[in-house]
Structure 1
Amino acid sequence: MNQFNLGMIGGGTVGSGVFHALQQNSALLTARIGVGIAIRKVAVKAFDEPRPYPITEKLMTLNWRDVVEDPEIHIVTELVGGTGIAKTMILAALERGKAVVTANKALISAHGPELFAAARKHNTSLYFEASVAGGIPIIKVLRESMVGNRIDRIDGIVNGTCNYILTRMKREGAAFADVLADAQRLGYAEADPTLDVDGHDAAHKIGILASLAHGFWVDHHDIHVEGIRSLTPLDIRFAAQLGYTIKLLGMVRMAPPASGKKNSGPRISVSVSPTLVPDGHVLASVNDVFNAVFVSGSPIGDTLYYGRGAGKDATASAILSDIADAALDRKHGTPQRVPPFVAHARDGKVIPYAETRSRFYLRLNVLDRAGVIAKISAIISKAGLSLSSIVQPEGHEGETVPLILMTHIAQRAAMDKAVTAISKLPAVKGPSLLLPVEDFG
């Protein structure tokens, strides 16, 4: 077959962007893959809903079942979002043997095993390039281009909203709340920004990448997640004085094998946290709404993937790539060239965050009294930890002053225990802030 029919569910900002991109680049796509793509139906919430690009009226329907139940439609795009009705839509399409393309990272993160099992059962495929980092082809890189590599680490700036806020905080010395309000006004942040600024969107994405890289499903409940609400302009400035930039990083690391166990599955750590990144590292210069994913593997070494992580155009690019793959797979009768997750039964494990190791940045607010630093240092030493530097900036007015501690490499559990003990000192006032420091050594 040299032409496949496409049905789209969702005609809002992203959906109309995909429709527009297909209209603009249809001839180019056909010339490159040798297969035509014809849009047959587009399910929308309302015919007159606001959308950046028009959709041909005769193609629109208000009933998504008109798309998934049409026997003439071979490929379905789900661009509705969420984990409710979108799951029903995708399963209904897969059960009818249709290829499905989605940008729904929350759904993949929450229900990936069920969705991919349904695709296998009905001899079809689920494509999800647009679910992580927008227009950056990181899914295909991990799934296909690096299929012969052992992945040692992944570091991802995968949420444009947080990266925009942190960039503005560093450039302008502005407070988090002020930049967030501006981001909402400009459309970079949602009216309810919780999913972004509390780190959950990044967790959905880094969990998908971790699953691809290590061959077993990473449950999003096993990912340690911290957001950026607690960051202050002081933290941004102190980090800069120490030679670092704070970024919200999704991090995946290989962990040492379990003691006494041989031939067990991979052990990895997966986390999302504001992290101090050295100014000389390429990730420190990824600014505004851009995303970047740094992948280190063997034999390939270090690689970087950079681009726009969201928006109608970046998402449309990734969706078109998946549509092309779906059409070619259909044409050649190969529903799965490379399985998305190659070893679901593999005995892999996400280790507790408390077992991870790194250097740390600790910001305290303390009374400006003699002997305070000595007492804090004694607790640090008793916990078996060591400090690389102590910074107590001058010129701060008020009863308390900030105190910045930088540690050598330590286990998170030991660091948490020390911070708990320090917080009980009468001279320590207000909340502290503990962040990992990543030197990429």
Structure 2
Amino acid sequence: MSDSQKVTAGEPLRVALLGCGVVGSSVARLLTEHADDLAARVGRPLELVGIAVRRAGRDRSDLPVDPALFTTDAESLVTRADIVVEVIGGIEPARGLIEKAMAHGASVVSANKALLAEAGPSLYASAAEHGVDLYYEAAVAGAIPILRPIRESLAGDDVRKVLGIVNGTTNYVLDKMDTTGQGFAEAVEQAQALGYAEADPTADVEGFDAAAKAAILASLAFHTRVSSDQVYREGITEVSAADVQAAREMDCVVKLLAICERTEVADADGVLTPGVSVRVHPAMIPRSHPLGGVRDAFNAVFVEADAAGELMFYGKGAGGDPTASAVLGDVVAVARHRVGGGRGPGESAYADLPVLGMGQALTRYHISLAVADRPGVLAQVATAFAAHDVSIETVRQKVVVDEEGGETRASLVVVTHTAPDAALSATVEALAALDTVHEVTSVMRVEGS
């Protein structure tokens, strides 16, 4: 940080706020209501010098701030601040405003997961070029402190795996499907009524939100650049009541999981090469697992590290005040740097590990089949698994009668041992092609055991 960027004794630090939605409103309110405490913690007052909004005429009398602070001129606002807080979301104009703020010497605190997942490296580079901080704890899991522990507290350790429930909307929907027997559509409607889901819940239920967060977590945990388009993604729209019931029969629960792990894959010559697997998809997880008991719209992240072992981070993953708590924690951190000098950690991408495709990820499958009830069927099924080097862990069979045709059929449930996802997927295709298999009724991955 240059001498011109240090704050003289007693001089307030100017804070500009970009966005005044649910999170922005909470940030503005907490900055105002806790002004004295924040000043004591930082060593200087924090002065809110402007709030950039899209429509200046909107009634915001419920906020304890001077109405004169609201402006539609975000471009000008970021040039007269020491710290810029960005909570508008999206890629543009957020990226341009952040870059302009940094060019004018401002440190930046952001809650923008989509932007960090897409343009994190360029923003880190801009922060380094201009000698300022870039903090974004609120971009993942709301109030839960997870990014700073990975980036700083575990900097001396080797993180092996990050397994998380990082989207409150999908966790609420799946939890209600499990505990009340609601269908997917009904559970989504209830989540919308309670404010947990947007009117258009696509970003949540299709896994886009979780994929962006997974990219950020993997980048920090494995010192490797991972973008959201490198994250394998499946949403929860295809999760059925039958899937939830099947999980219950295994003493499991269905969760949308963000899974980031460092692994090794063998090439054609058997040489092991390290890589990073990053994926988001629904999976069965044992109820006894720490993530299995995460209810409602809460988030949780489970971290496995070589020296530290297993760590669990749990709390509110969304909402105005919880997210604002994470934002203000970052504001205090960067403000202290500006008062005392120095900067927080920048990008760490030295490992530069390859990001592996989903086919190379190691997982397990739960497969439900409707098959003919006659001798030799199980042998055919077992042969299909063996042909793809997939080992079977358990098999359950139940005989059912087709009431319309009077035909006797069997329901076959197979749980595999761990195998590459490509081999498991190919096995499912082979099973579907068998003349003794009437239908592959359900396929779901199994994690956490």
Task: Tell whether the structures are fold-level matches, with TM greater than 0.5.
Answer: yes
Aligned counterpart for 2:35 among listed residues 26, 29, 35: 26
What CA distance in whole angstroms lies between the structure 2 residues aligned with 1:288 and 1:232? 18
What CA distance in whole angstroms lies between the structure 1 residues aligned with 2:440 and 2:204? 22
In structure 2, the residue matched to 1:144 is 152
What CA distance in whole angstroms lies between the structure 2 residues aligned with 1:284 and 1:393? 27
- The within-5 A match list for 1:113-132 is 113-132=121-140
Q: Is 1:276 paired with 2:281?
A: no
What is the DSSP-based 3-state SS (H/G/I as helix, E as strand, rest coil) of the residue aligned with 1:350? coil
In structure 1, the residue matched to 2:71 is 61
What CA distance in whole angstroms lies between the structure 1 residues aligned with 2:29 and 2:320? 10
Instruction: Give aligned-pair identity as a percent.
Output: 36
Q: Is 1:312 paired with 2:320?
A: yes
Q: Is 1:348 paired with 2:353?
A: yes
Sort the Cα spacing of 1:159 and 1:51 in 2 relative to 1 into closer, same or farther, 3 A: farther
In structure 1, the residue matched to 2:388 is 383
What CA distance in whole angstroms lies between the structure 1 residues aligned with 2:438 and 2:202? 27
Deviations 1:285-313 (A, max 9, x none): 00110000001112111110000011101
What CA distance in whole angstroms lies between the structure 1 residues aligned with 2:114 and 2:146? 17
Worse-matched range after superposition: 360-369 or 203-212: 360-369
What is the DSSP-based 3-state SS (H/G/I as helix, E as strand, rest coil) of the residue aligned with 2:38? helix
What CA distance in whole angstroms lies between the structure 2 residues aligned with 1:255 and 1:437? 18
Sort the Cα spacing of 1:369 and 1:180 in 2 relative to 1 into closer, same or farther, 3 A: farther
Sort the Cα spacing of 1:435 and 1:6 in 2 relative to 1 into closer, same or farther, 3 A: same
In structure 2, the residue matched to 1:302 is 310
What CA distance in whole angstroms lies between the structure 1 residues aligned with 2:392 and 2:311? 32
1:276/1:435 contact within 8 Å kept: yes
What is the DSSP-based 3-state SS (H/G/I as helix, E as strand, rest coil) of the residue aligned with 2:197? coil
Quote the offset at 1:173 in angstroms: 1.4
Q: Is 1:403 paired with 2:415?
A: no
What CA distance in whole angstroms lies between the structure 1 residues aligned with 2:401 and 2:43? 67
What CA distance in whole angstroms lies between the structure 2 residues aligned with 1:426 and 1:269? 35
What CA distance in whole angstroms lies between the structure 1 residues aligned with 2:124 and 2:270? 30
What is the DSSP-based 3-state SS (H/G/I as helix, E as strand, rest coil) of the residue aligned with 1:97? coil
What is the DSSP-based 3-state SS (H/G/I as helix, E as strand, rest coil) of the residue aligned with 2:295? coil
What CA distance in whole angstroms lies between the structure 2 residues aligned with 1:51 and 1:372? 68
Quote the offset at 1:387 in angstroms: 1.8
What CA distance in whole angstroms lies between the structure 2 residues aligned with 1:52 and 1:105? 29
Sort the Cα spacing of 1:51 and 1:353 in 2 relative to 1 into closer, same or farther, 3 A: farther
1:157/1:250 contact within 8 Å kept: yes
In structure 1, the residue matched to 2:195 is 187
1:11/1:51 contact within 8 Å kept: no
Q: Is 1:96 paired with 2:104?
A: yes
Quote the offset at 1:435 in angstroms: 2.3
- The within-5 A match list for 1:43-82 is 43-49=52-58, 53-54=62-63, 55-70=65-80, 73-82=81-90
2:283/2:444 contact within 8 Å kept: yes
Deviations 1:34-76 (A, max 9, x none): 2321111111122344669424201111211231122xx2111
Aligned counterpart for 1:17 among listed residues 15, 26, 41: 26
Q: Is 1:166 paired with 2:174?
A: yes
- The within-5 A match list for 1:317-328 is 317-328=325-336
Sort the Cα spacing of 1:401 and 1:274 in 2 relative to 1 into closer, same or farther, 3 A: farther
What is the DSSP-based 3-state SS (H/G/I as helix, E as strand, rest coil) of the residue aligned with 1:80? coil
Quote the offset at 1:390 in angstroms: 2.3
2:400/2:410 contact within 8 Å kept: no
2:391/2:417 contact within 8 Å kept: yes
Structure 2: stretches of 5+ with no match in the other structure: 1-6
Structure 1: stretches of 5+ with no match in the other structure: none
2:367/2:440 contact within 8 Å kept: no
Worse-matched range after superposition: 354-363 or 392-401: 392-401
1:361/1:406 contact within 8 Å kept: yes
1:17/1:53 contact within 8 Å kept: no
Deviations 1:110-159 (A, max 9, x none): 11111111111111121111000000111111111111110011101000
1:59 partner letter: L
2:266/2:272 contact within 8 Å kept: no
Sort the Cα spacing of 1:189 and 1:394 in 2 relative to 1 into closer, same or farther, 3 A: farther
What CA distance in whole angstroms lies between the structure 1 residues aligned with 2:259 and 2:286? 15
What is the DSSP-based 3-state SS (H/G/I as helix, E as strand, rest coil) of the residue aligned with 2:338? helix
What CA distance in whole angstroms lies between the structure 1 residues aligned with 2:224 and 2:249? 41
What CA distance in whole angstroms lies between the structure 1 residues aligned with 2:371 and 2:199? 36
Sort the Cα spacing of 1:369 and 1:83 in 2 relative to 1 into closer, same or farther, 3 A: farther
1:12/1:50 contact within 8 Å kept: no
What CA distance in whole angstroms lies between the structure 1 residues aligned with 2:241 and 2:301? 26
Worse-matched range after superposition: 362-371 or 175-184: 362-371
What CA distance in whole angstroms lies between the structure 2 residues aligned with 1:173 and 1:311? 26
- The within-5 A match list for 1:201-350 is 201-256=209-264, 266-335=274-343, 337-339=344-346, 341-344=347-350, 346-350=351-355
Sort the Cα spacing of 1:364 and 1:83 in 2 relative to 1 into closer, same or farther, 3 A: farther
What is the DSSP-based 3-state SS (H/G/I as helix, E as strand, rest coil) of the residue aligned with 1:405? strand
Q: Is 1:357 paired with 2:367?
A: no
What CA distance in whole angstroms lies between the structure 1 residues aligned with 2:87 and 2:188? 26
What CA distance in whole angstroms lies between the structure 1 residues aligned with 2:61 and 2:290? 34
| Count of residues in Structure 1 that have an aligned counterpart in Structure 2 | 434
Deviations 1:346-375 (A, max 9, x none): 431111221122222113344666654443
2:16/2:51 contact within 8 Å kept: yes
What CA distance in whole angstroms lies between the structure 2 residues aligned with 1:30 and 1:262? 56
What CA distance in whole angstroms lies between the structure 1 residues aligned with 2:61 and 2:355? 42
What CA distance in whole angstroms lies between the structure 2 residues aligned with 1:271 and 1:398? 41
What is the DSSP-based 3-state SS (H/G/I as helix, E as strand, rest coil) of the residue aligned with 1:69? helix
What CA distance in whole angstroms lies between the structure 1 residues aligned with 2:413 and 2:60? 49
Sort the Cα spacing of 1:65 and 1:262 in 2 relative to 1 into closer, same or farther, 3 A: same
2:71 partner letter: T
